[in-house]
Amino acid sequence: MRYRTLGAGTLRVGAVGLGCMPMSWGYSASQRDGESSLRALNAALDEGCSLLDTADIYGPFTNERLLARLLKERRDEVFLATKCGLLVGEQHLVANGSPAYVRRACDASLRRLGTDVIDLYQLHRADPEVPVEETWGAMAELVRAGKVRALGWCALDPHDRRRGRGAGGEHGRTLELLSRAQQVFPVSAVQAEFSVWSAEARAELLPWCEARGVGLLAAMPLGSGFLTGTLVPGGGFEPDDLRARHPRFTAEMMAANQPVVAGLRRVAARHPGATPAQIALAWLLAQGRQVIPLPGAKRASWVRENAAAAELTLTEWDLAEIAALPAARDSWR
């Protein structure tokens, strides 16, 4: 595994990480298997994918408890990233950025994870009711207390697209908040949706990170599974799967977005043994040294396939063909 750095070069992690959410939350409950997930986690470390990304809301809480089983045996090999700031409400997710909550959430995550320090503690969502300086200041106190090594920001707000805002509006607000947080305490990593079919982060967010030595953690780098080429338009999802309600995953939109997968398959055909998923991840790695994809996976075989993308080098021809692919279409646009 090749390595990359976060936080102005002070934190070293594998070039490909692992998003742990699908093991416990957001995807079909019938496909969750703790033992299979544990094998996937071990495979990630075996392959050098040291950055494991979780959150207290995944489950809620069950994903952190799952990781605790791994950490008990292999804590020294893990760069542990978790999050606070997002709660499950009666109707929707609710942001909470109060300093008192941040402190309680960190202590609770440490207990569930069975560790005495979190390597990267991320704010899952900014609370519009609390000044970011107060929230970030409380998180900085956790670093000074030795409970956390570094701080990260999640720039993931699905409401921006639902309101019809473009990439500039979405990331313009993010950059404003990031700049305010940076004045309180250094931001080591920013997590945002970034993939072949959703590349808005390249315009402003990636340059901001590059200028400051901040890592850009690419969330949903495989388009929630679509870019693997294994999902069938109209195949349907179980009711508890978030994709069942996502406008990109209607039968109509999945059919309309097939040219993106077809393009990845054409590029993969020029690299013996490569898959569309590996091409999508290799493309992200080619966008800059700050980018670290966090593909989600529940099976060890998928983890190994994703990790191997770090060894793929795309040609200028490959990159040009991928650049010409259309952006994702959905009913919000």
Sole residue written with tokens 């609770």: 108
Sole residue written with tokens 């209607």: 250
Q: What is the pLDDT of residues 281-331, one digit of tens each?
A: 999 999 999 999 999 999 999 999 999 999 999 999 999 999 999 888 875
Cis upstream peptide for 60 (omega within 30°): yes
Give the sheet arrangement for strand 18-19, strand by strand: 18-19, 51-53, 79-84, 118-123, 148-154, 189-193, 215-219, 291-293
- Count of all residues that appear for the chain in the document: 333
* Whole-prediction pTM: 0.94
**Could you give all domains of the chain from N- to C-terminal order, each with its CATH number?**
3-323 (3.20.20.100)
- Under the banding of pLDDT at 50, 70 and 90, the label for residue 26 is low
Percent of the chain with pLDDT over 70: 93
Please give the Cα distance from 255 to 233 (Å, whole number): 6
Helix 167-184 vs helix 205-212: crossing angle, to nearest 10: 20
- 3 catalytic residue (yes or no): no
Of 3, 58, 101, 121, catalytic: 58
| 22 contacts: CB under 8 Å, gap ≥ 6 | 296, 297, 298
pLDDT above 50: residue 175:
yes
Q: What is the pLDDT of residues 249-266, one digit of tens each?
A: 999 999 999 999 999 999
What is the model's pLDDT at position 162?
Answer: 40
- Under the banding of pLDDT at 50, 70 and 90, the label for residue 27 is confident
Q: What is the pLDDT of residues 49-96, one digit of tens each?
A: 999 999 999 999 999 999 999 999 999 999 999 999 999 876 688 999
- Under the banding of pLDDT at 50, 70 and 90, the label for residue 42 is very high
What is the model's pLDDT at position 163?
Answer: 37
Burial class (CB in 10 A: 0-12, 13-18, 19+), 58: buried
pLDDT above 90: residue 118:
yes
What is the model's pLDDT at position 48?
Answer: 98
What is the model's pLDDT at position 90?
Answer: 67
What is the model's pLDDT at position 13?
Answer: 97
Average pLDDT for 194-206: 94
Do residues 302 and 40 make contact, with C-beta atoms less than 8 angstroms apart? yes
What is the model's pLDDT at position 312?
Answer: 97
Looking at every residue in the chain, the average pLDDT score rounds to 91
